[in-house]
Amino acid sequence: MDFTFSEEQQAAAEAARGVFSGVAPDAVPSPALTTGAVAEGFDRALWARLADADLLSLLLDEAHGGAGLDAIALCLVLREAGRVLARVPLLEHSAAAAAVRAHGGKEQAERLLARAGRGELVLTVAAQGRTGHEPAERAVTARRDGRVWLLDGVQTAVPWAYDADLIVVPARAEEEAADRTVLALVPRETAGLVLAEQVSTSGERLAELRLESVRIDADEVIEADGAWEWLHALLVTGTCALALGLGEQVLRMTGDYTGKREQFGYPIATFQAVAVQAADRYIDLRAMEATLWQAAWRIASGAPGALPAAGDVAVAKIWAAEGVRRVVQTAQHLHGGFGADTDYPLHRYHAWAKQLELALGPAAAYEERLGDLLAAHPLG
């Protein structure tokens, strides 16, 4: 079996490396270190370069100006973004646009996708505020009233909400016949929608999304079965790709530092205790990579198997959450006091790693989810 990436996927990764080359890890201090330090918006100049390189339209059809690629290509690009802590809503924007393409109506696609692919319309998803124990789709309810849906509820920790033009909100449809989730495409400037500022571990500006009888036309709601599950799986897998890129960069920084830092006349990288710790973290990264591509392939191909795609996604999330935490903790340890110097970027990687570890639910939530899946779909 050939596990190599296609030429198109490799071209997307190469284009991403070109766009992100020279991008320094953002220098916004962590709120834990400097009170009130909050990033204001995302990097619009970098966003424009991503649009010019056609990296905002990877998952869109050619009819909408896209490349027609898959989740694997997106994760290759996100991996490069994670290496430099790129402050752009690339994951949320791409996943939301892909959900409209895959599950939305023709009119929705024609109205939104070409503009989204050019970066003129910024999308985000209200999905990060709940763990696997308390699903995001339960935070907001949707009630149909003729040609209008009424949304009520509160969703927390919504990324890029203050910068987005359109927020995709999963909501539990209140219907007697069935219990299902719909996706509402809510403009940020909508009557009844209020944003309250929150701050992430990494210093990013998040928002608590409050909806009170927000009226959304039926044409702005995606009702397709499985749309939310597919979107959520793509978001989780993309988060794993960001964590992988971040972890690989941190291990590279650690290798460079321990190769130069001398003690007793020798580089500390030659000490067995240091080498063993670095080797363990390398194994973590390779496990994160293997499980990431399995999950991305499952989403891209929809291939049948003993477990649904959710099983592979859960495994990837468990490895990403625990692996990236171990990588940055070891890096801090091997850097010594230098790792806590705010003039050195390692502390920023540590803050971002913690944010990615908890984004869309911690490892424990996915271990519970995986257990439920294995119980429902026993192997062997």
The DSSP string of 156-223 is EEEETTTT-SEEEEEEEEE-SS-EEEEEEEEESS-TTEEEEEEE-TTS-EEEEEEEEEEEEEGGGEE-
Tell me, what's the pLDDT at 8? 96
- pLDDT tens for 62-81 read 999 999 999 999 999 999 99
CB 244 within 8 A of CB 285: yes
Residue with tokens 């890890």, as numbered in its chain:
25
Most confident among 120-134, 170-184, 263-277, 338-352 (mean pLDDT): 263-277
Tell me, what's the pLDDT at 175? 73
Residues of the chain with CATH 2.40.110.10: 136-222
Q: Phi first, then psi: give them for residue 331, nearest 5 degrees.
A: -60, -45
CB 222 within 8 A of CB 300: no
Q: At the topology level of CATH, where does 7-121 sit? A: Butyryl-Coa Dehydrogenase, subunit A; domain 1 (1.10.540)
CA pair distance 84, 149, nearest whole angstrom? 40
Residue with tokens 């219990």, as numbered in its chain:
179
Segment 2-21 shows an average pLDDT of 94
Q: At the topology level of CATH, where does 136-222 sit? A: Butyryl-CoA Dehydrogenase, subunit A; domain 2 (2.40.110)
- pLDDT tens for 20-61 read 998 988 655 444 444 445 567 889 999 999 999 999 999 999
Between residues 146 and 331, the one the model is more confident about: 331
CA pair distance 33, 49, nearest whole angstrom? 31
Residues of the chain with CATH 1.10.540.10: 7-121
Segment 147-173 shows an average pLDDT of 95
pLDDT at 134 over 60: no
Query: Where is 321: in which H helix or E strand?
Result: helix 309-335
Extract the tokens encoding 175: 């219907």
Segment 342-367 shows an average pLDDT of 92
Work out the mean pLDDT of the chain and round it to a whole number: 90
Exposed, middle or buried: residue 207 (CB in 10 Å: 0-12, 13-18, 19+)?
A: buried
pLDDT at 146 over 70: yes
Segment 325-348 shows an average pLDDT of 90
Q: Phi first, then psi: give them for residue 287, nearest 5 degrees.
A: -70, -40
Segment 155-164 shows an average pLDDT of 94
CATH class, range 227-376: mainly alpha
Between residues 256 and 302, the one the model is more confident about: 256
- pLDDT tens for 163-210 read 999 999 999 998 756 678 999 999 999 999 999 999 988 888 999 999
pLDDT at 14 over 80: yes
CB 244 within 8 A of CB 292: yes
Tell me, what's the pLDDT at 35? 46
Segment 82-89 shows an average pLDDT of 96
Tell me, what's the pLDDT at 287? 98
Residues of the chain with CATH 1.20.140.10: 227-376
Extract the tokens encoding 331: 């890096």
Exposed, middle or buried: residue 135 (CB in 10 Å: 0-12, 13-18, 19+)?
A: middle
pLDDT at 130 over 60: no
CB 105 within 8 A of CB 219: yes
pLDDT at 223 over 90: yes
Segment 297-322 shows an average pLDDT of 84
Between residues 336 and 320, the one the model is more confident about: 320
Tell me, what's the pLDDT at 207? 95
CA pair distance 327, 288, nearest whole angstrom? 11
- pLDDT tens for 229-267 read 999 999 999 999 999 999 999 999 999 999 999 889 899
